């Protein structure tokens, strides 16, 4: 057996593995130093936590159904009613105002036109780095349909109806969860106001509470209310259209 064949392949260390190694090293250093190297240990732990947060934010997959995805499917379905080939359908959708989805369609169209890839290959290559699982699976199904030569019009009609139904359910669930968040926000505000008022009364009547604790309680209450408010704003579904009724019929 040649030395090249017996050469071991080094495993690839990703951000998740690196964060686990850094956090383990920080915990080990903290345990062995017995408090003497507390600051370096905390810095190492924070570095590992930062790498882990980076991996969670930029490498995780998710399922997202939004209005741009829905209208891009409608665009492609309308074009397919003219019995256009899959390449022309994707090229037409790439010119639409659909944000990230238009960029992916444009990438697939350029791969097919400039670099000589077939439409199924271009669709598969364009969807490789996609983190939205719903959109990635749609691109993979479109690539398969284009490869086997099935009717694209029927496929896009089914996809559009399915995504529209799922989007409606997602929107209704968002409204239900928003009601729960509103209740939690109101309850938190009442609890925080009660706690701060109690501490103020204890401070003024008994003097057992320092002014520093009162100030810190105000700051903590403000931070909690702001964080919950930001969470409510982020979870609220965006209304793109607003119906305004005229005063005069």
Lowest-pLDDT range of 46-60, 159-173, 226-240:
46-60
Domain boundary assignment for the chain: 14-58, 67-159, 166-235
pTM for this predicted structure = 0.66
pLDDT above 50: residue 10 = no
| pLDDT tens figures, 91-125 | 999 999 999 999 999 999 999 988 989 999 999 99
Three-class SS of residue 62?
strand
The predicted model gives 9-20 an average pLDDT of 60
Backbone phi and psi for residue 70, each to the nearest 5 degrees, phi listed first: -65, -45
What CA–CA distance (Å, rounded) separates 210 from 223?
20
pLDDT above 80: residue 249 = no
Answer for the pair 200, 214: CB distance below 8 angstroms, yes or no.
yes
Task: Dig out the tokens for 128 from the structure.
Answer: 């490789």
pLDDT above 70: residue 50 = yes
- The winner for highest mean pLDDT among 35-44, 106-115, 182-191, 193-202 is 106-115
| pLDDT tens figures, 78-94 | 999 998 999 999 999 99
Backbone phi and psi for residue 125, each to the nearest 5 degrees, phi listed first: -65, -35
Q: Would you state the pLDDT for residue 7?
A: 42
């Amino acid at each position: 057996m040649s030395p090249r064949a017996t050469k071991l392949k080094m495993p690839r260390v990703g951000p998740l593995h690196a964060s686990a190694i850094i956090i383990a090293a920080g915990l080990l250093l903290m345990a062995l130093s017995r408090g003497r190297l507390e600051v370096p240990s905390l810095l190492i732990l924070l570095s590992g936590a930062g790498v882990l947060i980076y991996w969670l934010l930029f490498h995780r997959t998710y399922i997202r159904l939004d209005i741009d995805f829905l209208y891009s499917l409608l665009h492609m379905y309308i074009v397919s009613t003219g019995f256009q080939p899959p390449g022309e359908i994707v090229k037409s959708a790439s010119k639409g105002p659909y944000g990230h989805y238009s960029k992916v369609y444009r990438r697939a169209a350029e791969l097919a036109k400039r670099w000589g890839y077939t439409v199924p290959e271009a669709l598969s290559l364009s969807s490789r780095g996609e983190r939205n699982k719903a959109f990635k699976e749609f691109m993979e199904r479109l690539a398969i349909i284009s490869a086997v030569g099935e009717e694209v019009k029927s496929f896009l009609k089914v996809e559009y109806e399915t995504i529209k139904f799922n989007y409606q359910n997602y929107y209704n669930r968002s409204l239900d969860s928003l009601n729960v968040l509103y209740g939690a926000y109101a309850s938190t505000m009442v609890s925080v106001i009660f706690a701060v008022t109690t501490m103020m009364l204890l401070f003024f009547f008994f003097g057992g509470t320092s002014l520093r604790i009162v100030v810190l309680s105000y700051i903590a209450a403000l931070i909690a209310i702001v964080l919950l408010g930001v969470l409510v704003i982020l979870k609220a579904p965006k209304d793109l259209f607003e119906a305004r009724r005229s005063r005069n019929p």
